[in-house]
Amino acid sequence: MKIGGLSLTMYIFQFIFILIGLVIAGVLRKFLPGILADVVGLISFLVLDYFSAGIIYTVYEKPIHKIIDKKLKKDK
């Protein structure tokens, strides 16, 4: 997996998943101590961001790059 493609997708989706992580941390603050809830929220943000970026990269971006590479080879 190309790290550049994955990191770009992570950058794009981090803004959505940081909100989810904040909500998870906010809900968990009612049940857990503050720092522990924040750590769990941060970990959930990182896990969601990394795995969704990996799925999007393998499902959408990688096949598109293969198609582009085939077309570029045919043009030469």
Structural domain total, the chain: 1
User: Checking phi first, is residue 33 left (phi over 0); if not, alpha (psi -120 to 50) or beta?
Assistant: beta
Q: What is the pTM of this model?
A: 0.65
Q: CB-based burial of residue 18 (10 Å sphere; 0-12 exposed, 13-18 middle, 19+ buried)?
A: middle
pLDDT for the residue 7 = 67
pLDDT for the residue 6 = 60
User: Model confidence over 2-49: pLDDT tens digits?
Assistant: 555 666 777 777 788 888 888 888 888 888 888 898 888 889 888 888
Owning domain of residue 68:
3-75
Q: Around Cβ 50, how many Cβ atoms within 10 Å? A: 15
For tokens 């997708």, name the residue.
Answer: 9
Band of residue 59 on the pLDDT scale cut at 50, 70, 90: confident
